[in-house]
A = this chain, B = another copy of it.
Amino acid sequence: MTDDQAPELPAGLEAELGWLLGQAWHGYLTASQAVLADLPAGPRGHLVLAAAVHGSARNQIELARQLGLDRTVMVYLVDDLVRAGLVERRADPADRRNRTVVATELGRRRLAGATAALAAAEAHLLGALDPEEQRTLRTLLRRVVARQLADRDDPEAVRSMCVLAQELKDAAG
């Protein structure tokens, strides 16, 4: 058992960030889908349900922006959760265009179970790291993602990256 290192990979690729992120994401998807199979829309349904229980958004668009989803997929996700009786769409008296997504009592109970199951999946996924390292990984990821979200609304950031990349390409090719 050489189980801590040596995933059989072409040399020079084992530290490839894209490959690492892709594999980690794929592993999370697989594990969370297996564990949340009985929840409508799987891991993304859990995300929406959790937000509904917390009640942090006044309408679906705000909810979509918070979770990094498109407003059109939010419709399908909420549809599925409504059909399962886990959330309700409530009209906003102040602005009748808004639909506030609120969790039902059943939704709250199911969220508790789903969160516990997801915790087991995450513990399994990060099983190679000790608790301190797990905290470090989450912190680093959180900072990377925070920067990303800030850049997302800043076209200048992406443009300057592409210009730099083109210069490097010209220099190398």
Interface residues of A (CB under 8 A from B): 3-28, 31-32, 34-35, 43, 47, 50-51, 54, 56-57, 65-68, 109-110, 112-122, 124-129, 133, 136-138, 140-150, 157-158, 161-162, 164-166, 168-173
Q: By the criterion CB–CB under 8 Å, are A136 and B138 in contact?
A: no
Contact assessment for A116 and B169 in the assembled complex, using a CB-CB cutoff below 8 Å = yes
A141 touches B21 (CB 8 A): yes
How many copies make up the complex?
2
In angstroms, how far is the closest chain B Cβ from the Cβ of A132? 11
Name the residue in A118, A122, A166, A173 with the highest tally of chain B Cβ atoms < 10 Å from its Cβ: A173
Q: How far is the CB of A15 from chain B (nearest CB, A)?
A: 6
**Which residues on the B side are within 8 Å of A57 (C-beta)?**
10
Chain B residues near A67: list those with CB within 8 A.
Answer: 13, 19
Q: Are the C-beta atoms of A3 and B157 separated by less than 8 Å?
A: no
Which of the residues B15, B16, B24 comes within 8 Å of A47, measured between beta carbons?
B16
